[in-house]
Structure formats: structure tokens, C-alpha cells
Structure 1
Amino acid sequence: MLEPLGITEFAETVYRSLLAEPGSTTPELTRRLDRSERAVRRAVAELEHLGLASRLPGRPVRLAAARPDTAIDLLVARRRSELDAMQRNARALAREMADERQQPDELFEILVGQQAVADRFTQLVTHCQRELMVFDRPPYAADVPQAEQEVSGRLREHLTVRGLYAPESLEYPGALAAAKRAVANGEQSRMHPRVPMKLAIADRSTALLPLVMEDMVASALVIRPCALLDALVALFELLWDQGTPLIPEPGTAVPPDAGLLALLAAGAKDETIARELGISSRTVTRRVGELLDELGARTRFQAGVFAQRENWLR
């Protein structure tokens, strides 16, 4: 049980023996465990060093084991501190490597398998320090609630997250509600009718995108700083500027049908609009007709664009 904390198997045996028989001496442990006194003394010294055992006052020297919960908590905290230090050193080393000229084969990494893709997305979110940029469109490699929880957790750490949603994303039941929760947590969310692919960019230094467009979760490509990554960042910024806010910005005067207009601008289908707004398809058709007349638009998408131009959605 204690081996992951750096405690040898025999030292754990001695510790358990002390828990069972408090106040044991080294000779008593030697007889009880049927091991050499030298081995027992080495294990006791290990336990004392880690704070798992201590000497009681008086002669002969008797030993007592520390409470397991308290002692293990201290060891876990110490190991966590050591791991944090290792992570900081690894990042410092990575920055030093980034200063050196990278070889072409170091700029790209191919991932195969849905689980590998999902794990790398989680890693990308976890290690992102400043800004996360995401094209959101199905299918999804990771479990949607789990991915939402991971991103929301980072938002609470003051990470800037910008999500650009495809209309297909909103066709999943509860998808719009989940996106609105993300906005409430601090995500900047917009919609665009032509999100070309899935994409995640962390700190403008690492991108994750599908390797094959026909199956966007079976494999993925990781891209590190290079001209292609710069182009992906530029593409995100271009589509972001064209996108429609998922929820109007605070202080903006908006019409009662702002939610409907936002969904129209994103290219959402009637069924999706009806489900997300909690109204019937017939009501959707009637309201859309009224909005087209009011805005002087010929198509639904044009109505969304006109509304955006009038600052109804910003």
C-alpha cells in the first residue's frame, strides 16, 4: 500500500507490526518478523526518517508507529510538493528546448484511438496557462459532461476560454444549456454557421485537431509552434470575429427574440430552436416570419446577420 510513497515493502511490514504491537523494541521486532537485526534497524531508520515511527522515552529503546491517517497525509503532501517541483522543472526545460531550433518531426505528433485523443484534450486543458481557443462541433472524443467540467474548472482559475460553436453542437439535447453554463462561468462563447472542424489551441503554442475529417475522433494531430499553428490561430480569430455571441453581452439592449436570432445566425434547425427555447415548431415558424419582415431579410441567416449589424446580439 505504501510503496507508491517510496516506502520499501519490508519497512511497511515493520510499520504494520508496530501498529499492532506499540512499544516494541528492535530485538522484539527481529524475533517477531524472523529477519536479521540489521534489516530491522535499516527499516526502522527508514520509518523514522519518513515520520512513520518514533522512539519512546526510557530504556530500552521502544518504538511507536505514527497514526496512519496523519502520517500518510504528510507523506502525500510531501510527494505532491516534489511532483509539483518536477513539473516546474520540466516546463522550464521545455522552454529552454523551445528556444532551440526544432526539427520538423518535433513539430507534429499523431494520436491514434478515441481514448488517446480524449486524454490529450484533457492534458491540453489541464496544462493551459493563459488562453484556450476551441472550435466546438460533434462528434466528441471525450465524454461531454466530463469535458465541460474540465474546462469550467480551469475557468475558475482565471484562464481565458473562447469557444466557437457549430450549429450541430446545439442539436444535442441540453447542449445550449451547457454552453450557457460555460458562459456563466466566464467562457466567451460565440456561434458560427460554418465551423470547419474540431480544434483546440492552448496558449497559442499547441493545437489539437482531427487528422481525418471523415472521422474526427478516431485520430488527431498535435501541432507545436510553426507556420501551420500560426495559420490555425489566424483562422480562429477570423471566424471568431464573424461569430454571433451565444448570449448578448451585459448592458446591451436586445429584443425579446435575441435568443431566437442568435440561433438563426448560427444556422440552427427549427427542431433545435424549438427544443432549446421551449416552444413549439409552429411558434418558431411564426416568430421567424415576423423577424424576417421586421428586419427586411430574405433568409433566416440574413436575419441573424442583420440583427448582429444592429448590435442586437453584441
Structure 2
Amino acid sequence: MLEALGVTEFAEVVYRALLASPGRTAPALARQLDRSERAARRAVAELEELGLVSRLPGRPVRLTAARPDTAIDLLVARRRTELDTVARDARALAAEVAERGQQPDELLEILVGQQAVADRFTQLVRGCERELMVFDRPPYAADGPRSEEDVSTRLREHLAVRGLYAPESLEYPGALAAARRAVEHGEQSRMHPRVPMKLAIADRRVALLPLVLEDMVASALVIRPCALLDALVALFELLWEQGTPLIPEPDGDAPSDPGLLALLAAGVKDETIARELGVSTRTVTRRVGELLDELGARTRFQAGALAQRRGWLAR
């Protein structure tokens, strides 16, 4: 119920538990909910920041939940203020564009042809000066995934690169190894099971994306500063926050297989997982079964998602 207001799933579970039994300590909540004390304290800190939980006087620290109607009204008011700010910014941007007299054909450019799209991507990467944000998913305008050589060269020149990979992009032969080499060069890489399209954004000033989603290599749209570009940047940031690290750092409470967890969270196929981990598909199936039991998950993707929510995949 509270997810739309920025409350994570487990934090809401903790909030409901405190509504039912006020005065609990964080360790008592952890025991009641069968979770680690660290996870319980993390959820309590989140709820305190949002004003949903407060501390009672005395020691040990006991917690109480704010009344749902009052607390949620405050969260709704805060979110409404944030949306009003975004709306004001959008109106100001529209006024700025109108004042500069920019025409639509100055903000948008259509590319036709697979080679033209590939060439413009290379041009976009080489012209980027500070930050490159990429949604990586097939099909590709070239013979394989995006040019690692171009990106890694720019990385050596201190360009900040963030790549969000679709599971399908890692199924190409050598794609996962190439992505890991990009990480070694300095790229921040995450995976997401629902990367909606191909996208590259350079310096938050120009974006390249498919013109037609059904055929993502035959034509593309170049977008310069406008409200649409702002929306694409916001979409990237949203999915980036939801993504899991390509090479995770295991949490202290996590099992000793963070690589498998990250691949599960991204929805990567068993064959790709087995190739990446250097084991047989049968071994992957066995390990996945063990993780499902440990997490109490019904599906593989749910196992990865639960592991991420528990903090087992550090970002």
C-alpha cells in the first residue's frame, strides 16, 4: 500500500508490526519477522526518516508507529509538493524553449538505416565529455553489443559511464565477459529484467533511442534538451535504482553466492548463468533450488528480488 509513497516492502511490514504491537525494540522486531537485526534496523531508520516511526523515552530504545491517517497524509503532502515542483520546472523549461525560439526540428532528429544509427552512437560516445548513461539490450545496429573499445577508451579519459543491461544482452557469446571488462575499466554496471528499449544519453544533453520499438536498429531518434529528454533521464535513474549490480559486493548476512543472486534478479537464463560461473546447468539448478528454499521464494526472479530487498546485493 505504501510503495507509491516511497516505502519499501519490508519497511511497510515493520510499520504494520509496530501498529499491531507498539513498544517493540528493533531486535524484538527482527525475531518476530524472522529477519536479521541489521535488516530490521535498516527498515526502522527508513521509517523514522519518513516520520512513520518514533522512539519512546527510556532504554532500551522502544519504537512506536505513527497513526496511519496522519502519517500517510504527511507523506502524500510531501509527494504532492515534489510533483508540484516538477510541474513548475517543466513550465519554466517550456517558457525557456519558447523564449529561445527553438523549433521542433532543432530538438529532434530522425536517423534512418542501421549504419547511420551505429555511426551516430559512436559519435555520441566519442563526443561525450562527462557522463554516459546506457540502456543495453538487443538487437544491435552492429554485429554485437555496443562498442566496448569506444566506451573503455572514454573511461580511461575519466568519463563516468553507467550501463543498465537487459538479461537478453548478456546471452550473446562473450557479452557478459565484455561487460565485466567494462566494469574493470570503471563502468558502473547493473542489470534489470525489464529494460524497455535501447537508449544512450550523453552529458544529459543529447539522447539516442529507437524510433520504432518493434525494430530497434533500422531507425532512431536523436533528442536534444527538452522535456522529453528530461523524462528519459528520469526513466534511466528510476530503473537504475531498481537494478542489481553486475558484480555485487556481498552483504555480511548474505550467502556466499552473490553472483548467482545478481543474475537471478536480472532474469538471466540458466545456460548463461552456468557459462558465467563455469559450472554445469545441473549445478545451477541445484544452487537455485537451495536459494529458493533459503529465501522462501516461489520463483527465481522473486529470489533475486528478495535478496536485493534484504540488502544481500550491495549497490
- TM-score, scaled relative to structure 1: 0.66
Rounded Cα–Cα distance in structure 2 between residues aligned with 1:234 and 1:129:
20
Indicate the residue corresponding to 2:169 in structure 1.
169
Deviates more, 1:258-267 or 1:141-150: 141-150
How big is the shift at 1:99? 9.1
Q: Does 1:310 pair with 2:310?
A: yes
Q: For residue 248 of structure 1, what is the amino acid of its counterpart? A: P
CA separation of 1:145 and 1:263: change in aligned 2, threshold 3 A: closer
Indicate the residue corresponding to 2:220 in structure 1.
220
How big is the shift at 1:313? 1.4
SS in 2 for 1:109: strand
Q: For residue 120 of structure 1, what is the amino acid of its counterpart? A: R
Indicate the residue corresponding to 1:182 in structure 2.
182
Indicate the residue corresponding to 1:201 in structure 2.
201
How big is the shift at 1:213? 1.0
Q: For residue 104 of structure 2, what is the amino acid of its counterpart? A: P
Indicate the residue corresponding to 2:278 in structure 1.
278
Gaps of 5+ in 2: 1-96
The 8 Å contact of residues 174 and 276 in structure 1, kept in 2 or not, is answered as no
The 8 Å contact of residues 135 and 195 in structure 1, kept in 2 or not, is answered as yes
Rounded Cα–Cα distance in structure 1 between residues aligned with 2:264 and 2:146:
28
How big is the shift at 1:255? 3.2
SS in 1 for 2:117: helix
CA separation of 1:219 and 1:146: change in aligned 2, threshold 3 A: closer
Indicate the residue corresponding to 1:233 in structure 2.
233
How big is the shift at 1:101? 3.2
Indicate the residue corresponding to 1:68 in structure 2.
none
Rounded Cα–Cα distance in structure 2 between residues aligned with 1:193 and 1:185:
24
Identical-pair percentage: 83
CA separation of 1:192 and 1:245: change in aligned 2, threshold 3 A: same
Spell out, residue by residue over 1:45-82, the C-alpha distance to the aligned partner (whole angstroms, 9 max, x if none). Answer: xxxxxxxxxxxxxxxxxxxxxxxxxxxxxxxxxxxxxx
Kindly report which structure 2 residues correspond to 1:58-77, keeping only aligned pairs within 5 A, or say none: none
Q: Based on CA coordinates, which of the two structures has the bigger radius of gyration?
A: 1
SS in 2 for 1:225: coil
The 8 Å contact of residues 138 and 145 in structure 2, kept in 1 or not, is answered as no
Spell out, residue by residue over 1:110-142, the C-alpha distance to the aligned partner (whole angstroms, 9 max, x if none). Answer: 101111001100010001011000000011113
Indicate the residue corresponding to 1:153 in structure 2.
153
Indicate the residue corresponding to 1:104 in structure 2.
104
Q: For residue 104 of structure 1, what is the amino acid of its counterpart? A: P
Q: Which runs of 4+ in 1 moved over 3 A?
A: 97-101, 143-146, 251-255
Q: For residue 181 of structure 1, what is the amino acid of its counterpart? A: R
The 8 Å contact of residues 247 and 313 in structure 1, kept in 2 or not, is answered as no
Rounded Cα–Cα distance in structure 1 between residues aligned with 2:293 and 2:127:
49
CA separation of 1:165 and 1:102: change in aligned 2, threshold 3 A: same
SS in 2 for 1:306: helix
Kindly report which structure 2 residues correspond to 1:125-144, keeping only aligned pairs within 5 A, or say none: 125-144=125-144
The 8 Å contact of residues 156 and 185 in structure 2, kept in 1 or not, is answered as yes
SS in 1 for 2:189: strand
Indicate the residue corresponding to 1:261 in structure 2.
261
Rounded Cα–Cα distance in structure 2 between residues aligned with 1:216 and 1:178:
22
CA separation of 1:290 and 1:252: change in aligned 2, threshold 3 A: closer
SS in 1 for 2:313: coil
Q: For residue 184 of structure 1, what is the amino acid of its counterpart? A: E
Spell out, residue by residue over 1:246-305, the C-alpha distance to the aligned partner (whole angstroms, 9 max, x if none). Answer: 1114x8545321111111000011111112212111111110000011111111111111
Rounded Cα–Cα distance in structure 2 between residues aligned with 1:134 and 1:210:
13
CA separation of 1:145 and 1:190: change in aligned 2, threshold 3 A: closer
Deviates more, 1:182-191 or 1:304-313: 304-313
CA separation of 1:146 and 1:164: change in aligned 2, threshold 3 A: closer
Indicate the residue corresponding to 1:290 in structure 2.
290
The 8 Å contact of residues 134 and 162 in structure 1, kept in 2 or not, is answered as yes
